[in-house]
Structure 1
Amino acid sequence: MTVASSLLQRFQHPAQVITTGFGFVVLVGTALLTLPIATVSGVSAGWVNALFTATSAVCVTGLVVVDTETHWSVFGELVIMGLMQVGGLGIMTLATLFTLLISGRLGLRARMFAQAETKTLAMSDLRRVVRNVALFTLVCEVITAGVLTGRFLLGYDEPFVRAVYLGAFHAVSAFNNAGFALWSDSLMRFVTDPWICLPIAGAVIVGGLGFPVMFELFRSWRRPSHWSVLTRITLGVTALLLVVGTLVFLVTEWRNPRTLGALDDSGKVLAAFFTAVMPRSGGFNSLNIADMYPSSWLVTDLLMFVGGGSAGTAGGIKVTTFGLLAFVIWAEMRGESDVNIGHRRLPQAAQRQAISIALLSVALVAVATYLLLVLTPHGLDQVLFEVVSAFGTVGLSTGITASVGPVGHVLLVVLMFIGRTGPLTLGTALALKDRTRRYQLPEERVIVG
């Protein structure tokens, strides 16, 4: 048996690879965060707080039950930073490898949809993919950290070591879509500072697009006609949601004195754009989420549920799933038997996979929302926001995270873990399990609607 064949057999069960790996890292992070040295007070944070924080960091969510700035020591913050890096890099690497495995092709034209058979993966190819993902991550984080460090040095008179630390921590948090910040108000103090908000937003977007998309853009950015369906859908839907989200937040919150109403016009545009980027799984906030109108919460819920790109650090059902469903609906409305995207036809297996992921995600959010409503005294708007944020591994909150109680915290931990590993696990498992039945049953029409 060759090394490649052995790897293929090992990848036949992605659920085992992903859940075991992430579960182990969460346990290690929990153990480290329970150490007295991890807190400012020198008293153990307790298993529930440590488990919640470790899961939030590994699953790159950003929800917190204790204030990161005042509760965790430098050691605790470094542990959180390491967990964010491992979680983001791990999910991007695994997602990229499984995407290439499903597509049956190594290279930058990794196709979006599963094939019935898979071809050979050589050890050199796997090493190259992992190396490129790690290098891409490091370069993006170093660039972001450099810009932030310079701003903290020149604009806020931070000491050099402190500026480097702040820049590095928030660069890792931003690129990995983790949302952890070293200030109690997240980034609200920088709401009108483009040198802080734009680099962080850029890192969130790049990390959320995914390695296959970004690498293909680097190779063929001058030839859009050669882009794969994955790249076209990811870029198109991402741009659409960013523009629509920015406009909706501008219109909705323009006169709200507690959010955009207190800013000048340029500040309003920057804050609205930043607020539209973060639900894609970024998790930072430059406006107080609790002060936003419920209508803005609903829009944020939708953006968080969709999430970012496949094989990236973002969560949600993914923009690819959302885009595929849109094309399916459009073809159905036109009465077409095939779903076409550009000059490519969408396989029925991919359509079923997208529908399965979307409906199962809706069911999970509905069940978790019901349970949290039963367990807590909070209203539907706040609970739904919290649940979608946990499932989408976003980290935004209306401020109720710490008050949902130990059982509620465990529920959110489970939701964050499923939200981080579930869509990738389910999507890969469905794709790899594609099989052809050798017979067909008689057809019978069913009334729909």
Structure 2
Amino acid sequence: MVVMGFGAATVLGTVLLMLPFSSEAGEATDPVTALFTATSAVCVTGLVVVDTSTYWSLFGELVILGLIQIGGLGIMTLASLLGLLVARRMGLRMQLVAQTETKSLRLGESKRVVLGVLKMSVAVEVVVAIILTARFAAGYHQPLGQAMYSGIFHAISAYNNAGFALYADSLTRFQTDAWIIVPVMAALVIGGLGFPVIFEVTRSMRRTATRNRTASHWSLHTKITLLTYGVLAVVAVLSITAIEWANPHTLGPLGVPGKLLAGTFAGISPRTAGFNSVDIAGMHPSTLLLTDVLMFIGGGSAGTAGGIKVTTFALLAFVIVTEIRGEPTVHVMGRRLSAMVQRQAITVALLGVGAVMAGTLTLLLLTDFDLDAVLFEVVSAFGTVGLSAGITADLPAAGQILLVALMFVGRLGPITLASALALRERGRRYELPEERPIVG
């Protein structure tokens, strides 16, 4: 149902974008371009084959904006509901037999999740839109109507980690303007962490004064997400800023404050935001590779970010550390991880690697671009990031359709796969004799 719903939204968006009045020239758009743009918007990716601000008319831009909002809200809501369903179903084993009827989601729970996602989305988007509108009007002398439209568009695009911009250079022209960069960065982080984490943190903050509730009462999911997201953000910002500090094509020409701001944004944005304030094609190859890793990992579960998710990455790290120590079970922050969760993390990660490798190999066979650019493009599509090394528009139709498939799989694959694996677990009434093949 999830796949069919997003597929229907993509088809509808494709049809609307093919209409003559969706383009600035008043001509019908070819199906591949319309399909690519619609998929990129619904999957909140941000990859484009035509410039958003010059090719599409106001109607076309509004269609894209609507698809972004539908895709972002849909992913966050459905992922939160699936997560709640999985948590409730798995929790049955710890409950009394008399309570087994609670295994399904009740109407009240579903309603609270949907309303919670909607309220949080509107609140963040409104605040960011007001700040951006004021800056566009006061700092860049845009007419109030244009400033409001630009502020709302970029606020929605940022919160949903879509990466669509109304400027051909994305946000490069604002790379040293903190009034633009910081609100956009805050929106993409909040959207990328996921509704369950934001909801738990804000609820805990409200209860702290009255019940003396601290971070120690957070769920394991929230602790892992915040810790891993924070560590990866710090490592990414410091590494990219250091590597690109003297690069004349990126941070080199900027002053120290501008370098720090642009470097921070370059480290945060690959967590599937898709905006860029420096030229991606001018980055050092080591920065491109680091960005590939960040895009593949992505953000938090049940959020607008893509990738295999930081929780999956962290769980694999915990498994490796436990194996190196020679311990029989994986313990994390006072809790033991079940073997089922470990298998799910391995499955999601390895299937993600397989999708990226297959996409990269196919695109190398279809084009003459070098490996750095092709790998960057494929990982960006699978992680629903939207950053590009500048080759998207030059890909043949077959290559663009391949990226469409990767965007769709990367957006829905990890969510639906993890939920399906958790909900279809079956017991086994026997075990075969154990044997240990040689590893390594």
> Shorter-normalised TM-score: what interval?
over 0.9
For 2:218 and 2:314, how far apart are their aligned partners in 1? 16
For 1:385, the equivalent position in structure 2 comes to: 376
* Cα distance in 2 between the residues matched to 1:54 and 1:181: 15
Residue 114 of structure 1: how far off its partner (Å): 12
Counterparts of residues 55-134 of structure 1 (less than 5 Å): 55-104=39-88, 119-134=103-118
Any idea what the Cα deviations from partners look like across 1:197-234, whole Å, max 9, x if unmatched?
Answer: 01001100000000000000001144110011110111
**2: distance between equivalents of 1:124 and 1:224?**
27
Aligned-partner SS, 1:40: coil
Aligned to 2:211: none
Aligned match for 2:168, one of 169, 172, 184:
184
User: Aligned to 2:335, which of 338, 341, 344?
Assistant: 344
In structure 2, relative to structure 1, the CA distance for the partners of 1:87 and 1:158 (3 Å cut) is same
Query: Mind listing any 5+ residue stretches in structure 1 that lack a counterpart?
Result: 1-16
Distance 1:445 1:226 in 2: 40
Q: Which residue of 2 aligns with 1:205?
A: 189
* Partner amino acid, structure 2, of 1:350: V
Query: Contact conserved, 1:103 with 1:114, CA < 8 A, in 2?
Result: no
Give the partner amino acid of 1:186. Answer: S
DSSP 3-state at the match of 2:252: helix
Partner AA of 2:117 in structure 1: V
Q: Tell me the alpha carbon deviations over residues 284-325 of structure 1, each in whole angstroms, 9 at most, x when there is no partner.
A: 000000111111100000000000000000000000000100
- Provide structure 2 residue ranges, at least 5 long, that are not aligned to the other structure: 209-213
Residue identity matched to 2:234: V
Alpha-carbon spacing, 1:348–1:311, altered in 2? closer, same or farther (3 Å): same
- Residue 239 of structure 1 is aligned with which of 220, 230, 234? 230
Superposed CA deviations along residues 229-267 of structure 1, whole A, max 9, x for unmatched, are 110111001111110001111111011011100001111
C-alpha distance in 1 between matches for 2:353 and 2:56: 35
Residue 40 of structure 1: how far off its partner (Å): 0.6
Partner of 2:349: 358
1:164 lines up with 2:148 in the alignment: yes
Q: Is the 8 A contact 1:258 1:291 kept in 2?
A: yes
Q: Residues 25-63 of structure 1, C-alpha deviation per residue, up to 9 Å, x if partnerless?
A: 000000000011111100111111000000000000000
1:409 aligns with 2:385: no
Determine the structure 2 residue equivalent to 1:311.
302
Please give the TM-score of this superposition, normalised by the length of structure 1: 0.93
Could you tell me how far apart the structure 2 residues matched to 1:257 and 1:26 are?
Answer: 40
Contact 1:140/1:175, CA 8 A, preserved across alignment: yes
Which one of the candidate residues 314, 321, 335 is aligned to 2:312? 321
Shift of residue 439, structure 1, vs aligned partner: 1.1
2:200 to 207, 212, 216: 216
Distance 1:71 1:159 in 2: 22
Tell me how far apart the structure 1 counterparts of residues 389 and 273 of structure 2 sit (CA, whole Å): 15
Deviation, 1:120, is 3.0
Match of 1:5?
A: none
Q: TM-score, normalised by structure 2?
A: 0.95
Does the CA-based 8 Å contact 1:114-1:432 persist in structure 2? no
Equivalent pair of 1:114/1:431 in contact (CA under 8 Å): no
Deviations 1:77-117 (A, max 9, x none): 00000000000000000000000000008xxxx98x999x8
Question: Is 1:152 the counterpart of 2:136 in the alignment?
Answer: yes
